[in-house]
Amino acid sequence: MNVTILGTGYVGLTTGVCLAFLGHKVTCADPVAEKIAMLEGGAVPFHEPFLADLLAEARCNLKFTTEYAHAIPGAQVIFIAVGTPPGQNGSPDLKYLQAAARGIGEHMDATFTVVVNKSTVPIGSGNWVGALVRDAFEKRNGRKPHTSFAVASNPEFLREGSALHDSLYPDRVVIGADEEQTAEVLYTLYRPILDQTFQPPPFLPRPEELGAVPLISTDLASAELIKYAANAFLALKISYINEIGLLSEKVGADIAQVAKGIGLDARIGTRFLQAGIGWGGSCFGKDTAALVATAAEYGLEMPIVQSARDVNRRQRERVIEKLLGELRILKGRTIGLLGLAFKPHTDDLREAPAIDIARKLIERGARVKAHDPVAMDRFRRDHPELCDVACCDSPEQVIRDCDAVVLVTEWPQYRELDWEPLAKSMRTAVMLDGRLALDRSRLSRAGFRYLGLAC
């Protein structure tokens, strides 16, 4: 099929590359010329494992352009995957979505086109996008578009850092459309994923236990709500284990064991019960805020979702409290941060706990050193206000001469450091394991005073 993707961020580019890999003819459009130039040269503008490899495999089915006029005519499916950054009062800013919908209306031809909302958009956006496309078409052509397009919602559940795996081997595909004909187009598009009939790329083997992928075919509003409700549930699962972690610390329990003991109940599940600093990233914070804001528009409160947000904010404060409890005074101390990205395997710093923690430490007069395997350049570029943070080339350099080190992002390479000489290189060998990812007894043996966020 002929597919166009508007927006080449994590969601748009991953979707485009995967669909091209499956044999569809895909055009990716983005107004940022530097991004398009990079993509044409085979480079990916952000860190996402294997994305450049799959792009190379699918190159013959991919085109890149800055021009809607080149991307939209003839497309059978157009995915809107533009950014919806946080706006005011918890609602997302929809200016890019609006521009995309208008652009589609202006450039659409007689081909029957399914316009798909792939970005996380407020409930009701399907209708709004439809109206914008129709108005723009009418303005340009002086007549109504009749049946030449329909709107669908196809929420995305990929995680940064495992975006390709999540896209090729998803837990489910959700399609929201008000007419059967619209949904049919998307079943055809996703058929190789639903039936798992494609030959997996060598670097992304199919999970052995994976069978056919379940399809949820529903109306527009339900598909839109599924996205928010899923993210909010994952967010509150994390906040729940962090709240239990607080109590666990008081009563002397081991939160990792508690999480395992809870999670092995199949009704609960073990995933997203990793206690620690809490969630960051561009999704959970924004989507929980949007859910609360949408509910408020209907006169509803969402106390559970709101509490999950409050608990998450408190976890970051707890890093500072723990350091204060140990060191008493932060002024003049040197604190090392291991990891800046909001999670491992990405260079994304949006809502990253490390940014908040660095800011709080600097406000209290501490000196901050930091390392991240892939996010250092982005950090220097996107956070000039934190220019006082000393960026180090290695974790060893961060740790040397520190009064305490905080593990903020659980990159696998931080687990395997040579701890004994590192403990000796510190002023006071204090390790605050913000992700409960390190081997406590190994660190203690190496001479560290080990602190966990929930122990």
Residues forming contacts to ligand UGA in the complex (CB under 6 A) are 120, 156-160, 231, 234, 238, 272-274, 276, 278-281, 283-284, 342-343
Catalytic-role residue among 18, 28, 60, 283: 283
Residues of the chain by 3-state class (helix, strand, coil), percent to 5: 45, 15, 40
Beta bridge partners of 151: 115
**Burial class (CB within 10 angstroms; exposed 0-12, middle 13-18, buried 19+) of 329:** exposed
Closest approach of ligand UGA to the CB of residue 236, in Å: 11
Closest approach of ligand UGA to the CB of residue 347, in Å: 12
Closest approach of ligand UGA to the CB of residue 343, in Å: 4
Q: Is the Cβ of residue 138 or residue 310 nearer to ligand UGA in the bound state?
A: 310
Contacts of 146 (CB under 8 A, 6+ apart): none
CA distances from 381 to 25, 346, 349, 385 (A): 35, 16, 11, 10
Q: Is the Cβ of residue 61 or residue 231 nearer to ligand UGA in the bound state?
A: 231
CA 144 to the chain's CA centroid: 38
Catalytic residue status for 283:
yes
CA 168 to CA 192: how far, in whole Å? 9
Strands, DSSP E only, in 188-345?
215-218, 334-338
Q: Is the Cβ of residue 61 or residue 153 nearer to ligand UGA in the bound state?
A: 153
Which is it for strands 173-177 and 149-153: parallel, antiparallel or unpaired?
antiparallel
Closest approach of ligand UGA to the CB of residue 231, in Å: 5
CA 409 to CA 374: how far, in whole Å? 12
Closest approach of ligand UGA to the CB of residue 311, in Å: 11
Q: Is the Cβ of residue 193 or residue 422 nearer to ligand UGA in the bound state?
A: 193
Q: Is the Cβ of residue 46 or residue 272 nearer to ligand UGA in the bound state?
A: 272
Catalytic residues: 283
